[in-house]
Amino acid sequence: MSDDYQKQLLAYNEDKRTACKYGDKCYQKNPKHLEKFKHPPSDNLKEFTQATKKQKLNNGESNTTHASKIEKDGPENEDNSELNIENQSENEDNDTDKEHQNTTKTNNSQVDTKPESELTESEFIQRNFLVKMPDDFYKFWEFCKIINEKDPLHAFEKVDLVLVGPFDVLAGKFQNVTKTKNEYLRHWRYYYDPPEMQTVIKCYDKEGYHIGYYRDEPLSDPCFVCSGNLINGQLTIMAGNLFGAVNVYLDNYVQKKCTPFNKMGIVKFQTKLKDYAKTENITLETKTDEMKSRNNKVVTRTFSGIGIVVPYNKKTQLGYRPLIETKDKIKKLLNNIVEAKEDGLRDDFLSKLQPIITMASIAADECDFGTSLELGLDLFNYGGEVFHNIILSLLISSYQLLGRDSFGDIMQAHLQDRKKSNNLSIL
């Protein structure tokens, strides 16, 4: 062992910070992560693993799966197993990784340090809802003010829609109102809404139909606008922006709900929306180029029908691996757990779920972060309080590793008070 390496190892061992469990393979560049966790010397990982293994055993600790894999692979495989984001970004197969690195993750520092009285409406939304709203969100609000200047929230009431969520900020409903961080994150968050979805429109119906933006990164532009309900966890992609989504809704409304007496009025109403969108150069396409590009990056479909996008290298297949059971088998197992009438029987079914959870966690340990994200979202989408602790364990870790910490905060707040209700306002 070289003197230089000995010094590095000594400094590492004396460092009081928590050791990052991903060790030398950690790809995180987030300053908060680097400040919180210590990382081993990277010039000789095998030598470090062997040196620290003895220390861990002496302390009564077991090696992580990740460290064991590195030792088992041996020196000849170290170069192939090492994750090098900078080199991969030069590869065409790694466009997603490059995009992930360049995306701002949770950089709310400038907004967080401002006094609330100095916040703009968009900054207020970013601070309290942990997402940025796109341009079409604000243009849609302007259109609603044209339709109903006194009460823009109810501009679409004649077609059973009302604006909610972040629109309440634009309506001034949060002025002189004090709420907790978690309350803001639950404002109009429906039972099946994953952290990636932000509801902005609700429907006056018993099924809880609602419309919201869906994004893969907390502070990135939405990928599309989709709809959901309280009947099941299915999400339906509608269009690339809010104007396109509402246009789709109006098409369906005219076909299914209009009577001969009100059809003409609804058609004129829809024409106003189309004319405004054209004037503002807003597309009404249901499949935009951005949506098609995102679809090509999907590594797997979740129970909701919406695929997940994570940093993934097609050449090395690093970033995601399939779950060890099929979707049908997992759904059947989850149903057995929820429907079990005796604790003992439920525990038996839960023990059958454990290997799936364990393998998803091992996948995350080995930098296939998409696997644990997939399982966590599937459990959330299936529903049932019995899964909440498992969901939190899988998703908070996955979101942190992916640099999507805000989604973990949203999930934690949601599961603290998850309601199957059609009235989810905190005001």
pLDDT tens digits in sequence order for the chain, 427 residues long = 556 666 776 777 778 787 775 566 565 555 556 776 777 775 444 444 444 444 443 444 333 333 333 333 433 333 333 333 233 333 434 444 444 444 444 445 567 778 887 899 999 999 999 999 999 999 999 999 999 999 999 999 999 999 999 999 999 999 989 999 999 999 999 999 999 999 999 999 999 999 999 999 999 999 999 999 999 999 999 999 999 999 999 999 988 888 888 899 999 999 999 999 999 999 999 999 999 999 999 999 999 999 999 999 989 999 999 999 999 999 999 999 999 999 999 999 999 999 999 999 999 999 999 999 999 999 999 999 999 999 999 999 999 999 999 999 999 999 999 999 999 999 9
How many domains are there within the chain?
Answer: 3
Task: Report the catalytic residues.
Answer: 366
Q: What angle do CA 122, 126, 127 make, to 5 degrees?
A: 120
Residue 259: closest CA among 158, 327, 357: 158
C-beta of residue 172 within 8 angstroms of C-beta of residue 152:
no
Looking at the fold, whether 235 and 257 belong to one and the same domain comes out as yes
Is residue 364 included in any domain, yes or no? yes
Domain containing 51 equals: 3-82
Q: What is the distance between the alpha carbons of residues 146 and 144, in angstroms, rounded to a whole number? A: 5
Is residue 88 included in any domain, yes or no? no
Is residue 367 included in any domain, yes or no? yes
Looking at the fold, whether 271 and 407 belong to one and the same domain comes out as no
Is residue 227 included in any domain, yes or no? yes
Q: Looking at residue 268, what is its pLDDT?
A: 93
Is residue 95 included in any domain, yes or no? no
C-beta of residue 46 within 8 angstroms of C-beta of residue 85:
no
Q: Please state the separation of Cα 30 from the chain's center in Å.
A: 18
Is residue 270 included in any domain, yes or no? yes
Q: Looking at residue 40, what is its pLDDT?
A: 78
Q: What is the distance between the alpha carbons of residues 181 and 184, in angstroms, rounded to a whole number? A: 5
Is residue 103 included in any domain, yes or no? no
Is residue 101 included in any domain, yes or no? no
User: Final residue of a domain: which of 64, 82, 100?
Assistant: 82
